[in-house]
Amino acid sequence: MALKRFRPALQDCQAASTLQSSSPQAKTLARLARCQLALGQSGAALSTIRATLDLDPSNAQAKQLKDNADKLDGHLRNFQSAKEQRDWGMARIALEKCFQGIEGEGSEVPTEWRMWKVELELTRGNIDAAETAANDAMRLQPNSPDALTLRGTVLFLAGRLPQALQHAQNAARLDPGHAPAQRLRKRVRDVERLKEEGNTAFKSGRLEEALEKYGEAVDRIGDKEEEAKGGLIRATLLSNRATTLVKLERHEEALVDVDAALVLSPGNWKALRTRARINLHLEQYDASIADFKSAVERGEFEGAPDADVRSLRSEIKKAEAALKRSKTKDYYKILGVPRDANETDIKKGYRRESLKHHPDKGGDEEKFKLVVEAHAVLSDPRRRERYDLGEDEDGLNDGGMGGMGGMNGMSQADIANLFASFGGGFPGGGGPFGGGGGGGGGGYGGRGGGFHFHSGGSRGFGGF
């Protein structure tokens, strides 16, 4: 007992008490009670203390032990009450007082208490601390089905599915009728299967199927508070589903999922990257840039592949360029096309917006100028690349229509192509934008001397 090795001391005291059963000794019983209390056995300690005081009502050691045992018993009752009421904060305080109320070294803490600590750490979402506590419990009782199942649950929530399954199987072998182990085994297998089916469908382009599988897996995991609200495995599946929703262009739904994933796993660089891309699409540029930078920082810390880190740095530049563009002119928005639009999309957008805004058709001249300017940049691969990177070029960001007679660099061939794309003109008119008939003189004089279109002049204007 002087060495605080209370478990072997308990065995010695029990043996001595048995030998003295015909004539119990208060001193022996007091020592037995001390060992029981030190090992967290408050109920047994109180029973032994009562027997001690029956023999020696003035026994000072027994009286002190009774006070300590009563306090410990009260803390245990408080813990159980708080746990039943799901008041995890009060339960944690009560359990800490239980730990403080015994004399034993760390290894003497009851396994059951250690398992309670695991459960409380999970309610805080602290999976690392829960795993440490589960390891401590396993060291004391390596063949306990309860301890094996609890540690398996922690591993499951940490996303380590093969190890979780192994723990559940080991627990079931030790006790074939152990219901918690059986439930854990089925749950792990279900989630592992659904996750793999979702990944396979995603890689094969079957996005709706992938979405369904990921959703089933998320539901199977659940979000119980006493299970870290689903832990890292739920965060992974939510992130996967968010990526799938992005592919399906359901960005608002994707944002909900990835936000939830980052609550569960704040430092997940892949989830940060996904949210950055979503925010970029939603034109939340500052948030996008912040997430991209966080993703780089976390990715480097976690040892992400160099290629991924380089790609993230490139995406930061594009997001910064988009932020810069948002404060001036957004050529994609002007043409009504997405940022990944191809040549055909840009041409269609140009034709649509040109028809809408042409002054001779009742449109706005300034908007028409912007449409022409946007097309001139986005239809030129080199200039589009510079624009996407936020780089300035002459006439690009000064609000003007510089170059080639006010047509922002359009060549005579460009103008001819533009005219051809309109099939030679608009319905009911001659030239493409002119009010006159025939192919010769129709032209647009423009408001305020802006644009002038002539069939043969050096500043002649046609179509795509």
Q: What is the pLDDT of residue 104?
A: 55
Given a contact cutoff of 8 angstroms between Cβ atoms, the answer to whether 7 and 19 are in contact is no
Domain boundary among 52, 80, 105: 105
Q: What is each CA distance from 192 to 51, 156, 169, 214, 216, in whole angstroms?
A: 56, 10, 15, 11, 11
Helix pair 269-281, 231-247: axis angle to 10 deg: 30
443 phi and psi angles, rounded to 5 deg: -165, 170
Given a contact cutoff of 8 angstroms between Cβ atoms, the answer to whether 89 and 124 are in contact is no
333 inside domain: no
Q: What is the pLDDT of residue 108?
A: 77
CATH number of the domain residue 365 falls in: 1.10.287.110
Q: What is the pLDDT of residue 397?
A: 46
pLDDT in tens, the chain (464 residues): 766 778 888 888 888 888 888 888 888 888 888 888 888 888 898 999 899 898 889 889 999 889 989 999 999 999 999 999 999 999 999 999 998 888 655 457 888 999 999 999 999 999 999 999 999 999 888 999 999 999 999 999 999 999 999 999 999 999 999 999 999 999 999 999 999 999 999 999 999 999 999 999 999 999 999 999 999 999 999 999 999 999 999 999 999 999 999 999 998 999 999 999 999 999 999 999 999 999 999 999 999 999 999 999 999 999 998 898 788 788 998 999 998 899 999 999 999 999 999 888 888 888 899 999 999 999 999 999 888 887 765 444 444 443 333 444 444 445 445 544 444 444 333 333 333 334 433 444 443 333 333 333 333 323 32
167 inside domain: no
What total number of domains does the chain contain? 2
Domain of residue 99 covers: 1-105
CATH number of the domain residue 67 falls in: 1.25.40
Residues whose CB is less than 8 angstroms from the CB of residue 341 and which lie 6 or more positions away in sequence, other chains included: 332, 335, 349, 378
5 inside domain: yes
60 inside domain: yes
Q: What is the pLDDT of residue 361?
A: 81
Report residue 344 as tokens: 């055909």
Domain boundary among 82, 105, 128: 105
Instruction: Find the radius of gyration of the CA atoms of the chain.
Output: 37
CA distance 340 to 331: 12
129 inside domain: no
390 inside domain: yes
Q: Residue 395: exposed, middle, or buried by beta-carbon count in 10 A (0-12, 13-18, 19+)?
A: middle
Q: Residue 451: exposed, middle, or buried by beta-carbon count in 10 A (0-12, 13-18, 19+)?
A: buried
Domain boundary among 105, 121, 150: 105
Q: What is the pLDDT of residue 392?
A: 65
Q: What is the pLDDT of residue 393?
A: 55
415 inside domain: yes
192 inside domain: no
CA distance 403 to 373: 11
